[in-house]
Structure 1
Amino acid sequence: MNNKLNIAIMAGGNSSEEGISLKGAAQIAKWLDPSKYNAFPVMLKGTKMTLKHPKHGDIPVSWDSFSANVGEEVLTFDCALIVIHGTPGENGLLQGYFEMMNIAYTTGGVLNTALTFCKDTTKRMLQGINIHLAKDIRVRKGESVNPKDVVKNIGLPLFVKPNESGSSYGITKVKLAEEIVSALEKSFTEDPVALIEEFIPGMELTCGVVKTQSKTLVLPVTEIVPKNEFFDYGAKYENEVEEITPARIPDDLTDYIQTVSSEIYDRLDCKGIVRIDYIFGNKKLYFLEVNTVPGMSEASIVPQQVAVMGLTMNDVFGMVIEDAIARKEAR
């Protein structure tokens, strides 16, 4: 009798981050314990879901039942392990589908993922927590912007970034007022709303958090030293960065970051594996963003933190999958 659970590793998606998702899904399939789980990659693109079966090739997955016809058998899934960055895996859309289908899934719920994907709303939700927030101006596509007024309020240099996007797509570090309009145009290719945000010089730090109903893991803090001007796509995915775990910071700062990371996780009602990014500058800790579907290549930050803690990704994903199923059964 086969008591192994069928895990759908949801990958792909409809954003610029599709390739990153596919790499992460391939790595996660290697991490999952084969004695407990049957790992099945499921690619989502547009309105199609496709099971990448190791023996039978590409098989359509039904939206009506979240199942696939494999030969003469119907393959169903016990849990969806979401590795889709951007839409629809990180902004609440896919979570809403799994809620309606009563399928266990490994991220936060509809509200959590929709909220945290919106940088502006996330910052508003974190007001009152012991963390500093960079000044910003929210701009919708089509609105007029006076660069002189922006510089007067925000200063230079500054960042222009999409309100809803990830992996540093669409982000520009602006050093001159005359660059603001073109930076906004670049940002609008990713999202119709942009944030013009003050530049905080300092050390980039990040902390992973994993919580289940019975266990909490606040991971070691990582120091990020980009070879470029900031933690951009090249730094994140093309090894143009030095990542140091644990970070070279005082113990009291480490404790503060881990404590506030746990508090942010709870305030935003996160679930599963989450990574929270910061800048430490001017002797203050500034919140940058929450990643509810963090990168999962072998060299990604969370796996580094897990290894330093003396655990394996096999351990962590086992926790997350079992917790997702328990939460579904409790609904």
Structure 2
Amino acid sequence: MGKKNIAVVMGGYSDEYKVSLKSGELIYTSLDRDLYNVYNVVVLADEWYCQYNDEKLSIDKSDFSTTLPTGEKVIFDACFNTIHGKPGENGVLQAYWDTIGMRYTGCDFYQSALTFNKKDTLAVLAKYNIPSADSVYLRKGDIINKEEIVERLGIPLFVKPNQSGSSLGITMVQDISQFDKAIEDAYAQDDEILIEEYLKGTEVSVGVIDYKGEIIVLGITEIVSLNAFFDYEAKYGGKSKEITPARLDDATRKTVEEIAIRAYKSLGMSGFSRSEYIICDGIPYMLEMNTNPGFSPASILPQQAAHYGISIKDLCGNEVEKALAKPLKNVRETND
């Protein structure tokens, strides 16, 4: 049987595309060339292309194929989705792939759309007794009563876009005078925002994956930010310490693991995931769920895999094999 054609799809329409390109590069170099023909595919707002040697080959959006300089058409057997943010983490790309009959890694479009929406994710998880911080939800144009919000949530508090990643547009408001600018920054990323109470505790990031048919906690990483909180600079500019495994007592670790697996199952996750929590008095409060977490060499998930003893090659290969085994979504249903 011939090798399968795998597209590692990276880029995206948000400021996270730079991180995605690094994640894609690690996955591209890690996939087993004895099993797969691997192609770099970049999806940007203004162009989609396959990076082939030094050439940019166009992507035919009717079937997400490309044509090599030799004239040979390459149909991909599966796409490895490593786009952070839009359109690869909010369900849009997955819905398109479903429509054209393309297999892909990770969550289906509904799960991706749901988990990209922080408010809706936390509302669903509340039904499964997974706690989260108290928050106020606003849409652009809503009247904002700052004094009322501060009275309810206290100071400091967080203002964050409802749908964005990599901590873009998040502000920790430590004085009411910072409120207006924080609102403006959050609305610059999304038309919906969350204003959230500040939880003082230990921040942890939990990698949960389905690996060889089993849902496992890949690792719990403690985040010690050198900034006021784990913002974009802390994540990607070296302004944080990431400690794997997290410094937790056994009882707390077991609680975190149990809640992280419950969240993964409750939300119908598939593939890589990283959920974020603040632990206060032994209780993990959910912040958000990432369905396409960073996968550059400096990212948390590869650190956790190394600790668990799973190689990047095996981790990525497992994802591809699951994608190849998926039933296609656009097969016409009949009443026969």
Unaligned runs of 5+ in 1: none
1:31 partner letter: S
Please say if 1:280 is aligned against 2:279: yes
Q: Give the Å deviation of 1:47.
A: 5.5
AA in 2 matched with 1:109:
D
Q: Counterparts of 1:231-246 in structure 2 under 5 Å?
A: 231-246=230-245
Q: Which residue of 2 aligns with 1:133?
A: 132
- 1:329 Cα offset (Å): 5.1
Match of 2:21 in 1: 22
Ranges in structure 2 where 5+ consecutive residues have no aligned partner: 332-336
Tell me which residue corresponds to 1:147.
146
- Cα deviations by residue, 1:259-301 (Å, 9 ceiling, x for unpaired): 1111111111111100111001233210010000000011111
Pairing of 1:1-331 with structure 2 (within 5 A): 3-46=2-45, 48-54=47-53, 57-70=55-68, 71-211=70-210, 214-328=213-327
- For residues 109 and 195 of structure 2, what CA distance do their matches in structure 1 show? 27
Match of residue 334 from structure 2: none
- What value does the CA root-mean-square deviation take over the aligned residues? 1.5
Is contact 2:222-2:244 (8 Å) kept?
yes
Q: Deviations over 1:302-327 (max 9, x none)?
A: 10111111111111111111111112
SS of aligned partner of 1:126: helix
* Contact 1:159 1:199 (C-alpha < 8 Å) held by counterparts: yes
Contact 2:203 2:278 in 1 (8 A): yes
Secondary structure of the 1:108 match is coil
TM-score (norm 2): 0.94
CA distance in 2, matches of 1:216, 1:270: 10
Report the Cα distance in structure 1 between the residues aligned to 2:36 and 2:145, rounded to whole angstroms: 56
Q: Distance in 2 between matches of 1:213 and 1:299?
A: 25
Instruction: Kindly indicate whether the alpha-carbon contact (under 8 Å) linking 2:212 and 2:318 is maintained by their aligned counterparts in 1.
Output: no
CA distance in 2, matches of 1:250, 1:196: 31
Q: Which moved more, 1:40-49 or 1:24-33?
A: 40-49
d(CA) in 1 for partners of 2:23 and 2:3? 22
The one-letter amino acid paired with 1:30 is T
Asked if the contact 1:103/1:328 (under 8 Å) is kept, the reply is: no
Q: Deviations over 1:116-155 (max 9, x none)?
A: 0000000000013243210000111111211100101111
Q: Are 2:102 and 2:328, in contact at CA under 8 Å, matched by a contact in 1?
A: no
Q: Judging changes above 3 Å, is the alpha-carbon distance between structure 1 residues 296 and 46 closer, same or farther for their aligned structure 2 residues?
A: same
Contact in 2 for aligned 1:102/1:328 (Cα 8 Å): no
Is this contact kept in 2: 1:170–1:189, CA < 8 A?
yes
Q: Once the 2 structures are TM-superposed, how far is the Cα of residue 212 of structure 1 from its aligned partner?
A: 5.3
| 2-structure distance, mates of 1:266, 1:99 | 22
Does the 8 Å contact 1:219/1:306 carry over to 2? yes
Aligned-partner Cα distance in 1 for 2:24–2:15? 16
Contact 1:130/1:260 (<8 A) preserved: no
The TM-score, its normalising length taken from structure 1, stands at 0.96
- The answer to whether the 8 A contact 1:221-1:247 is kept is yes
Question: 1:309 and 1:297, CA in 2 relative to 1: closer, same or farther beyond 3 A?
Answer: same
Shift, 1:252, TM fit: 1.7
Is the Cα–Cα contact under 8 Å of residues 90 and 109 in structure 2 kept in the other structure? yes
Is this contact kept in 2: 1:51–1:68, CA < 8 A?
Answer: yes
* Whole-angstrom CA distance in 2 between matches of 1:141 and 1:305: 38
Amino acid at match of 2:313: N
**Aligned counterparts of 2:149 and 2:177: Cα–Cα separation in 1:** 11
One-letter amino acid of the counterpart of residue 164, structure 2: S
Task: Classify the secondary structure of the residue corresponding to 2:304.
Answer: helix
For residues 282 and 305 of structure 2, what CA distance do their matches in structure 1 show?
A: 28
**Percent of aligned pairs with the same residue?**
38
* Equivalent-residue separation in structure 2 for 1:208 and 1:31 (angstroms): 19
Q: Distance in 2 between matches of 1:198 and 1:32?
A: 42
What SS class does the counterpart of residue 260 from structure 2 fall into?
helix
- Which whole-Å deviations, capped at 9, do the CAs of 1:5-36 have from their partners, x for residues lacking one? 21111111111111111111111112111221
